[in-house]
Amino acid sequence: MSQRHFATIAARAGIAQDTAHDAVTPPMYLTTTYRLKALGQAGAYDYSRSNNPTRDLLAEALAELEGGAKAIVTNTGMSACLLALQLLTPADTLVIPHDCYGGSYRLFTNLAERKHSFKLVIVNFQQKDWVSQIEAAQPAMIWLETPSNPLLQITDIRAVCQLAKKLTARVVVDNTFLSPVLQQPLALGADIVVHSTTKYINGHSDVVAGALICADQAVGDELKWWANCLGITGAAFDAYMTLRGLRTLLPRMQQHQTNAERIVAFLQQQPLVSNVYYPGLVDHPGHAIAKAQQQGFGAMLSFDLAVDPVFLQDFLDALQCFTLAQSLGGIESLICHPGSMTHASMDASAQATAGIGPTLLRLSVGIEAIDDLLADLAHGFAVLESASRAGRPQSAPATNQASAKASGPSASGAIDSKQGFSQSLPLNPALTALW
Ligand SMILES: *Cc1c(COP(=O)(O)O)cnc(C)c1O
């Protein structure tokens, strides 16, 4: 059969393949073990850590969606990342982007520093000399995450893969932020894709799970062996739920993105918004590359509020359609304050270097009616405006870092500006567990 379209692969994931009873929707095999017909006569399945029919259906659909030879479904997104690292030895160098997902950053730095699992080089791919930095590192593996979190910076996957071929390095792309609907890294030359399927692929904020997809069958076989060996394969129930979510991936992504575009246009009109970060904007530094390598600009966006951080809570309290929570990619809209939530393990100066300001907010735009989302934000800005004009936060000053970090003398005088982000960080940032 000629290559099927995304909507078809996703909608028909696992459908009409039941060999036992011809069920249209496949059953969930919760069994841990499988009967042998006789000694020496094991069937296709023996024990569910190694192989499970429900998990296999999900793996097949994900491999087809990403255009890979083999997919391995893991119990979390982090274990999918850990799995890719099994290809490295202590003599190898791993290059990672300076702004990768915090949990991945913690994994890479701790494995390198405390376990000597590999050598680590951290590169800022937004700097002009990234090529020479990578050539100097002579890596065995290059890790990419594009768009990045929370500023949606874009890395040129094709260019990195071309360089990697010359250096015989493997390229791994964390494709969580876009899903295969909006970006297919293997087609751009990458060797491995990893996903936190917790996000868009499941899409309903009710499963934590992951997946790794390989372009090469032999590498996939080796990593499947490791997944079983380490015991990090996904649960049957999670695979069943994720298959259910996956079937609507395409229409969800379309609605997420249409809503995000309208919100970006709205935010740009807001006097209290000083910056909007979204790769779909023509003046976004990564716009041209995003346009060339993505099938859409996605539904994650960030913006800075041009107000004193003491007023953040007023804005957040006024919103009803944006829930204050980390994570992303679910059908519901979420709002996050990276400075005190996803990126709180970075101290104030590290945040400043990374461009994460005290009033930066990140949205995971859901699939609610756009008019409701826009009305909600409009209400939030109206409340914010009157609070900041009165010079006094309406909410009691919260004790969290969001309101503790004032950029200058606070108009209300109620906030001790010395109480910065770093005060809550007695630990090495890499060890501070947030998730
Ligand atoms: C959430 C996330 C992960 C980790 O996934 P879990 O499912 O939470 O273990 C990795 N990478 C990115 C980009 C993520 O957003």
pLDDT digits (tens, 9 = 90+) for 232-248: 999 999 999 999 999 99
Amino acid letter, residue 58: L
Contact 313, 324 (CB under 8 A): no
Distance from C-alpha of 185 to C-alpha of 427, rounded to nearest angstrom: 36
Question: What H or E segment, with its residue span, contains residue 353?
Answer: helix 348-354
Exactly one of 49, 119, 158, 262 is catalytic; which is it? Answer: 49
Write the DSSP symbol of residue 340: T
Exactly one of 199, 224, 247, 405 is catalytic; which is it? Answer: 199
**What beta strand segments (E) does 163-226 contain?**
170-174, 192-196, 210-214
Q: pLDDT value at position 396?
A: 57
Res. 75: pLDDT tops 50: yes
Which of 104, 62, 97 minimizes the C-alpha distance to 81?
Answer: 104
Q: pLDDT value at position 342?
A: 87
What is the CATH architecture of 6-246?
Answer: 3-Layer(aba) Sandwich (3.40)
Q: pLDDT value at position 348?
A: 85
Overall average pLDDT of the 38-42 stretch: 94
Res. 413: pLDDT tops 50: no
Name the strands in the sheet holding 93-97, side by side, starting at the edge strand that comes first in the sequence: 70-74, 210-214, 192-196, 170-174, 141-145, 93-97, 119-123
Q: pLDDT value at position 403?
A: 41
Please indicate whether residue 208, judged by its CB atom, sits closer than 6 Å to ligand 1. Answer: yes
Distance (Å) from CA 196 to ligand 1 centroid? 4
Q: Residue ranges of the domains in the chain?
A: 6-246, 250-431
Q: What is the mean pLDDT of the chain?
A: 90
Distance from C-alpha of 251 to C-alpha of 264, rounded to nearest angstrom: 20
Please indicate whether residue 101, judged by its CB atom, sits closer than 6 Å to ligand 1. Answer: yes
Q: Is the peptide bond prior to 147 cis by the omega test (within 30 degrees of 0)?
A: yes
DSSP 112-141: HHHH-SSEEEEE-TTSTTHHHHHHHH--SE
In Å, what is the CA distance from 381 to each residue of 73, 252, 277?
Answer: 42, 27, 18
* Ligand 1, pocket-test mutation among 101, 146, 206, most atoms within 8 A of CB: 101
Helices (runs of H) and strands (runs of E) counted in the chain: 15, 12
Distance from C-alpha of 276 to C-alpha of 253, rounded to nearest angstrom: 21
Distance from C-alpha of 420 to C-alpha of 401, rounded to nearest angstrom: 7
| Catalytic residue check, 49 | yes
Q: 249-268 vs 370-390: helix axis angle to the nearest 10?
A: 30
Please indicate whether residue 199, judged by its CB atom, sits closer than 6 Å to ligand 1. Answer: yes
Q: pLDDT value at position 433?
A: 38
Name the band, by pLDDT with cuts 50, 70 and 90, for residue 140. very high
Q: pLDDT value at position 347?
A: 81
Per-residue model confidence as pLDDT tens digits over 269-302: 999 999 999 999 999 999 999 999 999 999 999 9
| Catalytic residue check, 128 | no
Please indicate whether residue 79, judged by its CB atom, sits closer than 6 Å to ligand 1. Answer: no
For the entire predicted model, the pTM comes to 0.91
Q: Could you tell me if residue 329 is left (phi over 0), alpha (psi between -120 and 50 degrees) or otherwise beta?
A: left
Angle at 131 between CA 127 and CA 133, to 5 degrees: 80
Please indicate whether residue 175, judged by its CB atom, sits closer than 6 Å to ligand 1. Answer: no
What is the CATH architecture of 250-431?
Answer: Alpha-Beta Complex (3.90)
